Structure 1
Amino acid sequence: MRAGVRVLTSTKAICGVGTGNGTDARLAAETAVDEALRPLDGQEPDLVLVYASVRYDLPAVLKTVAAATGSAVIAGATSSGQLQHGQLIEPGSGIAVLALAGGGYRFGLGHATGVQADATRAGRALARAALDATGPVRSPHEAVLIFSDGLAGDQQELLNGIHKVTGFQVPVIGGAAADDRQLAETFVFAGDRVLKDAAVAVWIGSDRPLRVVGKHGWRATSLPLMLSGVDGQIVSELGGRPALEVYQENFRPRDPGAKKLYEKAGGYHSEHAFGLIQPDGSLLIRGAFIDSDGKLRTFSPMPPYSAVQVVSCDPEDLLEVGEQTVEEVMGGEEPAVVLVFDCVARLDILGQRGHEEARRLQEAAGDTPTFGYYTYGEFARTTGVAGYHNATIAAMAL
């Protein structure tokens, strides 16, 4: 593992965001980072986030960004599309860069590998490395920003390990890396390094509270059901009955006129999912799909004998909850940036309205830029241990 630290002294945060495209990785990265640095007016950035399509030469992208940003803490991930200042950069293209300076923050960078073999251990090591990197002085308010390999290990177990270091008072926000919906390989970034089977964390210390908000907009279409048969990601029984039969019984009729924005994506997600019923009655969304063998699978394992409901949603639900998430995380203030982590399943369900989401998120933020990417899962933990989500939008303001 590797750690780095950056301590800020300014009381006013300045943020710039930029994008690059085209086939040349270095040129696209230079374009994105130059645009992101412009609002800083010569001031060296302290935190740099990089989101990129897997089609690029990723080491070249990071080396280009690192060369332009000095000693900044650099973190990020591969994506399935990006969101930047009201614009949607569609899956399969683009590099997005954020540069932030000032604000009185303390940033500590850490990473851990071996997520597939032992996600809990990796999460604990990851959080400890990031915390140690901030130095001995603790800030009055803290949060952890994480990026994980979206195809490696149990993401909730990774969060369980992080919780062993953060405790319940430090919120966690972030996203699982994606790969333009290929479901082949995803990567995370730490400094100028491209990592697989790994997770990266930025420990953030602040003089002001750091709000984390996660919302989903899904609605139950079934009564509560007991998860009576589950083996890893395969769900075989619900309430003692064949799971697939019960699942399909609770499907909401689909709008025959609805069109997906990306037709090829239909094989790996559904307009229906599971909601894990939490102690407070809220639902934690777990994406589900029917595989080529006719088995009902989830993207992340669910605990045996837990209580679940089949859930569904429509595009308007998703658009409204996105606006609510941004408005709530801003809290009536004017932060330098709103970081957004949005599930690619939401983009698929939005269909032709995918670009509308990016625009409406920015309208909710006003003059504050929004910056984010489409993920293979979202982290938003504010109370308790559970905090890994599917088909959810999560945000934090800096």
Structure 2
Amino acid sequence: MHTVVAHSCHPEGRAAVGEVRAAWAGHGKPAPHLVFFHASEGYDGAELMEEMARAFPGVPLHGGTSCQGIMTHLGALPGSGKSLGMLALNDPDGAYGVGVAPLAGDPRGAGSRAAQEALRQAGREGETPTMVWLTSAPGHEEEVLAGLEDLFGPDVPVGGGSAADDAVAGRWRQFANGQVFDDAVVVAVLFAPGRIGFSFHSGYDPTAKRAVITSGEGRTIRALDGRPAAEVYNAWTGGALADLQATGGSLLLRTTLQPLGRVAGRIGGIPYFQLSHPESMTADGALALFSRVESGQEVWLMQGSEESLVKRAGRVARSAVQSLPGRPVAVRGAMVIYCAGCMLTVRNRMADVVESLRQGLGPDVPFLGAFTFGEQGCFVGGENRHGNLMISLLVFAE
């Protein structure tokens, strides 16, 4: 197994792809078996895919746009203009494939169809992969996960992230096998038994404040314990929404360090949480989220800090390495999905985030990181979930 991670900040798409292609060629290895590829929104996506298909003909390619840039083991590039990055994997002992399907009003079916296409490309139709990795347009991730479970059952771990743009303006794109989409799901199937590790975590702590959703559906909470949801949240947070009570409005920057959490499972009686990020409130006191909820679920007010968002990166990296069977192992590379909202909150400390990841993975392990509008992963108890403000990490080793 061999990996190469390369990036470019060249403003012209063709030249940028040429730089990452040259990085692979410089290692003198045969063609990769899988390429992960993420880029900021400013590039022409069709041009990027045309050039990547020319640079890596016939190679499964998976990825999407990343909020304000990408990061690698060499540093973080958010807000620095155009940037793109690639993780190329050569693994003659494994099998890999990528498929894509437009969501087109049927995200559950799209998840299954994309995975079936990926299996065909891998030459493994009817088989169960070691891991599934996805990049989806934001909005229907839970249904996509359900479609993957329809095909593979509940025991195949799933990870990935939702494509993002710079300003939540709908300019996100998904990349698959030389094609570019704006409302699709891209699925990679990975057959590499014993050589893949993963971890999924929030890095936030629960407070003592919790309530039951008494009115809620989809991605909206209308009432908590019978009271308007925004009113309850405002009280919990000491008036964080006070100036918006009459009009409603965007909450993105106000709620990043105080999201809502639901218990996803327990280990030794200790709960672990999947997070929902309140993104706006309405004038009648409802909270809109970036993930689905249901009436009857209990939500907790969670709390984080800049320091916790920095340190969690290393903890999740170590957890992913520790999940590998048969240690000691040689970690060859990693794919990191880091919430864009968290990145924007700790923008001035992204160098520390990169260093935390390097400490967790090993100082010489190359990684590619994308900043996403939703994160998917498999918790330690085996639950595949979609959440917000999370980190999802995949490692390759031998």
The interval holding the TM-score normalised by the smaller chain is: 0.7 to 0.9
Q: Name the counterpart of 1:348.
A: 344
Report whether the alignment pairs 1:324 with 2:315. Answer: yes
SS at match of 1:322: helix
Choose from 296, 306, 311 the match for 1:305. Answer: 296
**Structure 1, 156-165 or 117-126: larger mean CA deviation:** 117-126
Contact 1:236 1:242 in 2 (8 A): yes
Choose from 331, 334, 338 the match for 1:335. Answer: 331
Contact 1:109 1:129 in 2 (8 A): yes
SS at match of 2:376: strand
The alignment's TM-score, normalised by the length of structure 1, stands at: 0.87
Q: How many residues align?
A: 373
Report whether the alignment pairs 1:31 with 2:19. Answer: yes
Contact 1:141 1:210 in 2 (8 A): no
SS at match of 2:14: helix
What's the CA shift for 1:271? 2.3
SS at match of 1:347: helix
Choose from 76, 86, 89 the match for 1:100. Answer: 89
What is the rounded CA distance, in whole Å, between the counterparts of 1:225 and 1:303 in structure 2? Answer: 13
Contact 1:14 1:103 in 2 (8 A): no
What is the rounded CA distance, in whole Å, between the counterparts of 1:209 and 1:222 in structure 2? Answer: 40
What's the CA shift for 1:223? 3.1
Give the root-mean-square deviation of aligned CA atoms: 2.4
TM-superposition CA deviations, 1:13-47 (whole Å, max 9, x none): 111111112321111221122224423x1421111
Contact 2:251 2:280 in 1 (8 A): no
Contact 2:275 2:388 in 1 (8 A): yes
What is the rounded CA distance, in whole Å, between the counterparts of 2:53 and 2:102 in structure 1? Answer: 22
SS at match of 2:43: coil
What is the rounded CA distance, in whole Å, between the counterparts of 1:342 and 1:103 in structure 2? Answer: 29
TM-superposition CA deviations, 1:221-248 (whole Å, max 9, x none): 3433111112432221101111111112
What is the rounded CA distance, in whole Å, between the counterparts of 1:161 and 1:297 in structure 2? Answer: 24
Consecutive unaligned residues of structure 2, counting only runs of 5 or more, are 241-249, 323-327
**Structure 1, 382-391 or 218-227: larger mean CA deviation:** 382-391
**Structure 1, 291-300 or 80-89: larger mean CA deviation:** 291-300
Q: Name the counterpart of 1:288.
A: 278
What's the CA shift for 1:140? 8.4
Consecutive unaligned residues of structure 1, counting only runs of 5 or more, are 1-12, 255-263
Contact 1:222 1:250 in 2 (8 A): no
Matches within 5 A, 1:235-384: 235-251=221-237, 267=253, 270-280=256-266, 281-291=271-281, 293=283, 295-331=286-322, 332-366=328-362, 367-382=364-379, 383=381
What is the rounded CA distance, in whole Å, between the counterparts of 1:243 and 1:266 in structure 2? Answer: 16
Contact 2:220 2:289 in 1 (8 A): yes
Which letter does structure 2 place at the counterpart of 1:392?
M
Contact 2:220 2:293 in 1 (8 A): no
What is the rounded CA distance, in whole Å, between the counterparts of 1:217 and 1:311 in structure 2? Answer: 10
Distance 1:149 1:142, change over 3 A: same
What's the CA shift for 1:250? 1.7
Report whether the alignment pairs 1:229 with 2:215. Answer: yes
Q: Name the counterpart of 2:108.
A: 120
Contact 2:111 2:187 in 1 (8 A): no
SS at match of 1:174: strand
TM-superposition CA deviations, 1:44-87 (whole Å, max 9, x none): 11111110111111111111122112321111101112121141
Which letter does structure 2 place at the counterpart of 1:31?
E
Q: Name the counterpart of 1:397.
A: 395
What is the rounded CA distance, in whole Å, between the counterparts of 1:54 and 1:162 in structure 2? Answer: 27
What's the CA shift for 1:301? 2.1
Which letter does structure 1 place at the counterpart of 2:294?
P
Choose from 151, 172, 196 the match for 2:158. Answer: 172
Contact 2:378 2:385 in 1 (8 A): yes
Which letter does structure 2 place at the counterpart of 1:362?
R
**Structure 1, 274-283 or 212-221: larger mean CA deviation:** 274-283
Distance 1:36 1:180, change over 3 A: farther
Distance 1:159 1:337, change over 3 A: same
Distance 1:198 1:58, change over 3 A: same
Q: Name the counterpart of 1:64.
A: 51
Percent of matched pairs sharing the same residue:
23
Contact 1:36 1:98 in 2 (8 A): no
